A = this chain, B = another copy of it.
Amino acid sequence: MSLVIVGSMAFDGIETPFGKVDKIVGGAATYIGLCASYFTDNIGLVSVLGNDFDMGYLQLLQDKGIDIEGVEIKPSGKTFFWKGKYHNDLNTRDTLVTELNVLGEFDPKLPDNYKNADFVMLGNLSPGVQSSVIRQIVRKPKLIAMDTMNFWMDIAMGDLKETISMVDVLIINDEEARQLSGEYSLVKAARIIQEMGPRFLIIKKGEHGALLFGEHQVFFAPALPLEEVFDPTGAGDTFAGGFMGFLAKTKDISFENMKRAIIYGSAMASFCVEQFGTRRLEKLSLAEIDHRIGKFVELVRFDV
Protein backbone atom coordinates (compact mmCIF):
# COMPACT_ATOMS: atom_id res chain seq x y z
CA MET A 1 0.00 0.00 0.00
CA SER A 2 1.36 3.41 -0.91
CA LEU A 3 -0.49 5.51 1.68
CA VAL A 4 -2.41 4.30 4.73
CA ILE A 5 -4.70 6.83 6.39
CA VAL A 6 -6.09 6.26 9.86
CA GLY A 7 -8.72 8.57 11.30
CA SER A 8 -12.32 9.36 12.00
CA MET A 9 -15.16 9.20 9.54
CA ALA A 10 -18.17 11.15 10.67
CA PHE A 11 -21.36 12.97 10.11
CA ASP A 12 -21.04 16.70 10.69
CA GLY A 13 -23.60 19.38 11.35
CA ILE A 14 -22.16 22.74 10.27
CA GLU A 15 -23.35 26.30 10.58
CA THR A 16 -21.40 29.17 9.02
CA PRO A 17 -22.45 32.78 8.37
CA PHE A 18 -23.31 31.61 4.85
CA GLY A 19 -25.53 28.64 5.55
CA LYS A 20 -26.23 25.49 7.45
CA VAL A 21 -26.21 21.73 6.89
CA ASP A 22 -27.69 19.33 9.43
CA LYS A 23 -25.86 16.19 8.40
CA ILE A 24 -23.04 15.87 5.92
CA VAL A 25 -20.21 13.35 5.65
CA GLY A 26 -17.03 14.49 7.38
CA GLY A 27 -14.19 13.17 9.51
CA ALA A 28 -10.42 13.46 9.22
CA ALA A 29 -9.88 10.25 7.27
CA THR A 30 -12.55 11.24 4.78
CA TYR A 31 -10.95 14.61 3.98
CA ILE A 32 -7.41 13.23 3.98
CA GLY A 33 -8.31 10.29 1.76
CA LEU A 34 -10.42 12.19 -0.70
CA CYS A 35 -7.74 14.85 -1.09
CA ALA A 36 -4.83 12.38 -1.38
CA SER A 37 -6.73 10.44 -4.05
CA TYR A 38 -5.96 13.25 -6.52
CA PHE A 39 -2.26 12.42 -6.20
CA THR A 40 -1.87 8.69 -5.73
CA ASP A 41 -3.66 5.36 -6.08
CA ASN A 42 -3.13 2.57 -3.64
CA ILE A 43 -4.58 4.39 -0.64
CA GLY A 44 -5.92 2.35 2.27
CA LEU A 45 -8.38 3.84 4.73
CA VAL A 46 -8.65 2.73 8.35
CA SER A 47 -11.68 3.95 10.22
CA VAL A 48 -14.89 2.88 11.94
CA LEU A 49 -18.51 3.49 11.00
CA GLY A 50 -21.93 2.82 12.48
CA ASN A 51 -24.91 1.23 10.81
CA ASP A 52 -26.21 4.63 9.72
CA PHE A 53 -23.41 5.65 7.36
CA ASP A 54 -24.07 6.57 3.76
CA MET A 55 -23.02 3.57 1.67
CA GLY A 56 -23.15 5.70 -1.44
CA TYR A 57 -20.35 7.78 0.04
CA LEU A 58 -18.20 4.69 0.60
CA GLN A 59 -18.74 3.87 -3.06
CA LEU A 60 -17.61 7.39 -3.98
CA LEU A 61 -14.35 6.83 -2.08
CA GLN A 62 -13.83 3.52 -3.85
CA ASP A 63 -14.52 5.16 -7.19
CA LYS A 64 -11.64 7.52 -6.33
CA GLY A 65 -9.39 4.46 -6.03
CA ILE A 66 -9.42 4.27 -2.24
CA ASP A 67 -9.31 0.84 -0.62
CA ILE A 68 -11.78 0.58 2.27
CA GLU A 69 -10.90 -2.87 3.58
CA GLY A 70 -9.64 -1.14 6.74
CA VAL A 71 -12.98 0.56 7.38
CA GLU A 72 -14.88 -1.39 10.00
CA ILE A 73 -18.66 -1.15 10.09
CA LYS A 74 -20.24 -1.78 13.49
CA PRO A 75 -23.79 -2.99 12.90
CA SER A 76 -24.89 -2.16 16.44
CA GLY A 77 -23.59 1.40 16.67
CA LYS A 78 -23.93 4.84 15.20
CA THR A 79 -21.33 6.88 13.33
CA PHE A 80 -19.37 9.63 15.11
CA PHE A 81 -21.28 12.91 14.97
CA TRP A 82 -19.91 16.43 15.39
CA LYS A 83 -21.81 19.67 15.20
CA GLY A 84 -20.27 23.13 15.24
CA LYS A 85 -21.04 26.75 14.56
CA TYR A 86 -18.50 29.17 13.12
CA HIS A 87 -18.25 32.77 14.29
CA ASN A 88 -18.45 35.60 11.80
CA ASP A 89 -14.70 35.79 11.23
CA LEU A 90 -14.67 32.02 10.45
CA ASN A 91 -11.45 31.69 12.45
CA THR A 92 -13.16 30.44 15.59
CA ARG A 93 -16.01 28.05 16.19
CA ASP A 94 -18.08 26.58 18.99
CA THR A 95 -18.55 22.84 19.19
CA LEU A 96 -22.23 22.28 19.89
CA VAL A 97 -22.42 18.46 19.86
CA THR A 98 -19.84 15.68 20.02
CA GLU A 99 -21.28 12.15 19.95
CA LEU A 100 -18.34 9.76 19.74
CA ASN A 101 -20.57 6.70 19.20
CA VAL A 102 -18.53 3.89 17.55
CA LEU A 103 -15.40 6.08 17.52
CA GLY A 104 -15.32 5.79 21.31
CA GLU A 105 -14.24 2.13 21.06
CA PHE A 106 -12.22 2.45 17.87
CA ASP A 107 -9.56 -0.26 17.94
CA PRO A 108 -8.07 -0.12 14.45
CA LYS A 109 -6.82 -3.35 12.88
CA LEU A 110 -4.62 -2.95 9.83
CA PRO A 111 -5.43 -5.40 7.02
CA ASP A 112 -2.28 -7.39 6.15
CA ASN A 113 -1.61 -5.55 2.92
CA TYR A 114 -1.65 -2.21 4.79
CA LYS A 115 1.17 -3.27 7.10
CA ASN A 116 3.93 -2.52 4.60
CA ALA A 117 2.71 0.98 3.73
CA ASP A 118 5.26 3.43 2.35
CA PHE A 119 3.49 6.42 3.90
CA VAL A 120 1.23 6.52 6.96
CA MET A 121 -0.96 9.43 7.99
CA LEU A 122 -2.51 9.33 11.43
CA GLY A 123 -5.43 11.73 11.67
CA ASN A 124 -6.38 13.22 15.01
CA LEU A 125 -7.34 10.38 17.37
CA SER A 126 -6.39 9.44 20.91
CA PRO A 127 -2.59 9.03 21.01
CA GLY A 128 -3.00 5.48 22.31
CA VAL A 129 -5.00 4.53 19.23
CA GLN A 130 -2.44 6.22 16.98
CA SER A 131 0.49 4.36 18.53
CA SER A 132 -1.37 1.02 18.35
CA VAL A 133 -1.49 1.51 14.58
CA ILE A 134 2.24 2.22 14.37
CA ARG A 135 2.93 -0.99 16.31
CA GLN A 136 1.03 -3.05 13.73
CA ILE A 137 3.30 -1.93 10.89
CA VAL A 138 5.75 -4.65 9.89
CA ARG A 139 8.07 -2.75 7.53
CA LYS A 140 9.38 0.69 8.47
CA PRO A 141 7.52 3.23 6.31
CA LYS A 142 9.33 5.99 4.44
CA LEU A 143 7.40 8.49 6.53
CA ILE A 144 4.82 8.51 9.32
CA ALA A 145 2.94 11.76 9.93
CA MET A 146 0.40 12.54 12.62
CA ASP A 147 -2.09 15.20 13.58
CA THR A 148 -3.32 15.78 17.13
CA MET A 149 -5.17 18.44 19.11
CA ASN A 150 -5.07 20.37 22.39
CA PHE A 151 -7.67 18.02 23.94
CA TRP A 152 -5.07 15.23 24.10
CA MET A 153 -2.50 17.63 25.58
CA ASP A 154 -4.99 18.39 28.35
CA ILE A 155 -5.86 14.81 29.26
CA ALA A 156 -3.12 12.49 27.92
CA MET A 157 0.14 14.41 27.55
CA GLY A 158 2.27 11.39 28.51
CA ASP A 159 0.71 9.12 25.89
CA LEU A 160 0.81 11.92 23.37
CA LYS A 161 4.54 12.54 23.81
CA GLU A 162 5.20 8.82 23.46
CA THR A 163 3.28 8.71 20.18
CA ILE A 164 4.94 11.89 18.92
CA SER A 165 8.32 10.26 19.54
CA MET A 166 7.36 7.49 17.09
CA VAL A 167 6.58 9.67 14.05
CA ASP A 168 8.59 11.59 11.45
CA VAL A 169 6.24 14.54 10.91
CA LEU A 170 3.93 16.23 13.38
CA ILE A 171 1.23 18.46 11.85
CA ILE A 172 -0.44 20.84 14.31
CA ASN A 173 -1.69 24.41 14.45
CA ASP A 174 0.03 27.38 16.09
CA GLU A 175 -2.01 27.27 19.30
CA GLU A 176 -1.33 23.56 19.69
CA ALA A 177 2.39 24.11 19.09
CA ARG A 178 2.41 26.74 21.80
CA GLN A 179 0.55 24.51 24.25
CA LEU A 180 2.67 21.45 23.50
CA SER A 181 5.95 23.33 23.93
CA GLY A 182 5.03 25.93 26.51
CA GLU A 183 6.69 28.56 24.27
CA TYR A 184 4.97 31.47 22.53
CA SER A 185 7.65 31.96 19.87
CA LEU A 186 6.99 29.40 17.15
CA VAL A 187 10.71 29.14 16.41
CA LYS A 188 11.43 28.15 20.01
CA ALA A 189 8.33 25.94 20.11
CA ALA A 190 9.52 24.11 17.00
CA ARG A 191 12.90 23.33 18.51
CA ILE A 192 11.33 21.93 21.66
CA ILE A 193 8.83 19.83 19.74
CA GLN A 194 11.45 18.48 17.35
CA GLU A 195 13.46 17.38 20.39
CA MET A 196 10.46 15.19 21.28
CA GLY A 197 11.23 13.08 18.23
CA PRO A 198 9.80 14.24 14.89
CA ARG A 199 12.41 15.29 12.34
CA PHE A 200 9.84 17.53 10.70
CA LEU A 201 7.20 19.79 12.17
CA ILE A 202 4.44 21.56 10.27
CA ILE A 203 2.72 24.41 12.07
CA LYS A 204 -0.55 25.41 10.40
CA LYS A 205 -1.63 29.02 10.87
CA GLY A 206 -4.97 28.89 9.03
CA GLU A 207 -5.45 31.96 6.84
CA HIS A 208 -1.87 32.96 7.71
CA GLY A 209 -0.29 29.95 6.01
CA ALA A 210 1.95 27.19 7.33
CA LEU A 211 5.54 26.72 8.46
CA LEU A 212 7.64 23.62 7.80
CA PHE A 213 10.57 23.09 10.14
CA GLY A 214 13.23 20.61 9.02
CA GLU A 215 16.48 19.66 10.64
CA HIS A 216 18.15 22.98 9.87
CA GLN A 217 15.70 24.67 7.57
CA VAL A 218 12.44 26.56 7.68
CA PHE A 219 9.95 26.99 4.88
CA PHE A 220 6.89 29.19 4.88
CA ALA A 221 3.88 28.62 2.63
CA PRO A 222 1.19 31.28 2.53
CA ALA A 223 -2.50 30.56 2.43
CA LEU A 224 -4.11 31.90 -0.72
CA PRO A 225 -5.91 35.17 0.08
CA LEU A 226 -9.52 34.22 -0.65
CA GLU A 227 -12.43 36.47 -1.41
CA GLU A 228 -14.73 34.24 0.60
CA VAL A 229 -14.29 31.30 2.94
CA PHE A 230 -17.55 29.40 2.88
CA ASP A 231 -16.83 26.56 5.33
CA PRO A 232 -13.41 25.97 6.94
CA THR A 233 -14.35 22.46 8.17
CA GLY A 234 -11.75 19.92 7.09
CA ALA A 235 -9.25 22.44 5.72
CA GLY A 236 -6.48 21.20 8.03
CA ASP A 237 -7.14 17.55 7.15
CA THR A 238 -7.28 18.41 3.47
CA PHE A 239 -3.93 20.16 3.83
CA ALA A 240 -2.48 17.01 5.40
CA GLY A 241 -4.06 14.89 2.64
CA GLY A 242 -2.47 17.00 -0.09
CA PHE A 243 0.88 16.96 1.69
CA MET A 244 0.95 13.18 2.16
CA GLY A 245 -0.69 12.43 -1.19
CA PHE A 246 1.97 14.44 -2.99
CA LEU A 247 4.79 12.72 -1.07
CA ALA A 248 3.27 9.29 -1.74
CA LYS A 249 3.06 10.14 -5.43
CA THR A 250 6.63 11.42 -5.71
CA LYS A 251 8.21 9.03 -3.13
CA ASP A 252 10.73 11.77 -2.31
CA ILE A 253 11.03 13.00 1.27
CA SER A 254 13.79 15.56 0.71
CA PHE A 255 13.15 18.97 2.25
CA GLU A 256 12.85 20.46 -1.26
CA ASN A 257 10.08 18.05 -2.12
CA MET A 258 8.34 18.55 1.22
CA LYS A 259 8.17 22.25 0.34
CA ARG A 260 6.32 21.34 -2.84
CA ALA A 261 4.08 18.98 -0.87
CA ILE A 262 3.13 21.82 1.48
CA ILE A 263 2.22 24.05 -1.45
CA TYR A 264 0.01 21.26 -2.82
CA GLY A 265 -1.57 20.80 0.61
CA SER A 266 -2.24 24.54 0.84
CA ALA A 267 -3.76 24.60 -2.64
CA MET A 268 -6.07 21.69 -1.83
CA ALA A 269 -7.14 23.37 1.43
CA SER A 270 -8.00 26.51 -0.53
CA PHE A 271 -10.49 24.43 -2.55
CA CYS A 272 -11.91 22.69 0.51
CA VAL A 273 -13.18 25.90 2.11
CA GLU A 274 -15.13 26.96 -0.98
CA GLN A 275 -18.14 24.73 -0.26
CA PHE A 276 -19.71 22.81 2.60
CA GLY A 277 -17.90 19.72 3.81
CA THR A 278 -16.19 17.61 1.18
CA ARG A 279 -18.37 18.82 -1.70
CA ARG A 280 -15.65 20.81 -3.47
CA LEU A 281 -13.14 18.00 -3.02
CA GLU A 282 -15.43 15.47 -4.62
CA LYS A 283 -15.25 17.03 -8.06
CA LEU A 284 -11.89 18.62 -8.80
CA SER A 285 -10.00 18.38 -12.04
CA LEU A 286 -6.22 18.12 -12.28
CA ALA A 287 -6.31 21.26 -14.45
CA GLU A 288 -8.01 23.16 -11.61
CA ILE A 289 -5.34 21.97 -9.20
CA ASP A 290 -2.52 22.98 -11.55
CA HIS A 291 -4.10 26.39 -12.03
CA ARG A 292 -4.36 26.91 -8.29
CA ILE A 293 -0.71 25.89 -7.82
CA GLY A 294 0.13 28.60 -10.36
CA LYS A 295 -1.62 31.12 -8.13
CA PHE A 296 0.67 30.17 -5.25
CA VAL A 297 3.73 30.57 -7.43
CA GLU A 298 2.55 34.05 -8.50
CA LEU A 299 1.73 34.97 -4.93
CA VAL A 300 5.18 34.45 -3.46
CA ARG A 301 7.66 34.52 -6.31
CA PHE A 302 10.14 37.39 -6.35
CA ASP A 303 13.68 37.97 -7.59
CA VAL A 304 16.36 39.86 -5.70
Interface string of A253-293 (1 = CB under 8 A from B): 00010011001000000000000000000000000000001
Sample of 20 more A-B contacts, CB < 8 Å, known A188-B228, A211-B225, A263-B304: A185-B226, A185-B228, A186-B225, A187-B227, A188-B227, A205-B208, A208-B208, A208-B209, A209-B222, A218-B225, A219-B302, A220-B222, A220-B299, A221-B300, A221-B302, A256-B302, A260-B302, A263-B302, A293-B304, A297-B304
Interface residues on A, range: 20 to 34
Q: How far is the CB of A221 from chain B (nearest CB, A)?
A: 8
CB nearest neighbor in B for A225: B187
- Please tell me if the beta carbons of A222 and B222 are within 8 angstroms of each other in the complex: yes
- Among B186, B208, B225, B259, contact of A302 (Cβ-Cβ < 8 Å): B259
Q: How far is the CB of A191 from chain B (nearest CB, A)?
A: 9
CB nearest neighbor in B for A222: B220
- Please tell me if the beta carbons of B303 and A300 are within 8 angstroms of each other in the complex: no
Interface set of A (CB-CB < 8 Å, partner B): 88-89, 184-188, 205, 208-209, 211, 217-222, 225-229, 256, 259-260, 263, 293, 297-300, 302-304
**CA of A146 to CA of B160 in the docked complex: distance in angstroms?**
49
Which residues of the other chain, B, contact A218 by a CB distance below 8 angstroms? 225, 298-299
Which residues of the other chain, B, contact A188 by a CB distance below 8 angstroms? 227-228
CB nearest neighbor in B for A294: B304
Which residues of the other chain, B, contact A187 by a CB distance below 8 angstroms? 225-227
**CA of A184 to CA of B18 in the docked complex: distance in angstroms?**
14
**CA of A303 to CA of B181 in the docked complex: distance in angstroms?**
32
Q: How far is the CB of A273 from chain B (nearest CB, A)?
A: 12
**CA of A222 to CA of B38 in the docked complex: distance in angstroms?**
29
**CA of A221 to CA of B225 in the docked complex: distance in angstroms?**
12
- Please tell me if the beta carbons of A89 and B184 are within 8 angstroms of each other in the complex: yes
Which residues of the other chain, B, contact A186 by a CB distance below 8 angstroms? 225
